[in-house]
Amino acid sequence: MSEGQLARRLNVPRTRIERLVKESSGVTVDSALRLSRFFGTAPELNMQRNYDLAHADIDVFGIEPVKAAQAGFVTDA
């Protein structure tokens, strides 16, 4: 099935399917629900979140964690 055929069956723009196939955009809730209905699967949106986190290009390793006492948080100790 072509991207255009799938788009027509899902009633979405062809470009949406093309972007999903090329991985240039994430899966929206709308797309997940339509795809799950069409393919008879569950719309597992956590998979998209896991993919996004795994492919995030954000350098957080230079951030020094704060201790609870330094931040003014109350602990149960």
38 and 9 Cβ atoms separated by less than 8 Å: yes
Phi/psi of residue 10, each to 5°? -90, -10
CA distance 77 to 51: 37
- pLDDT per 10-residue tile (average), the chain, 77 residues: 94 95 87 89 77 77 75 62
Q: From 3.20.20.190, 1.10.760.10, 1.20.1440.130, 1.10.260.40, which CATH number describes the 3-65 domain?
A: 1.10.260.40
Token readout for 62 is 């230079």
pLDDT at 73: 64
pLDDT at 63: 80
pLDDT at 75: 61
pTM of the model: 0.61
- Looking at residue 62, what DSSP letter applies? T
Locate the domains of the chain by residue range. 3-65
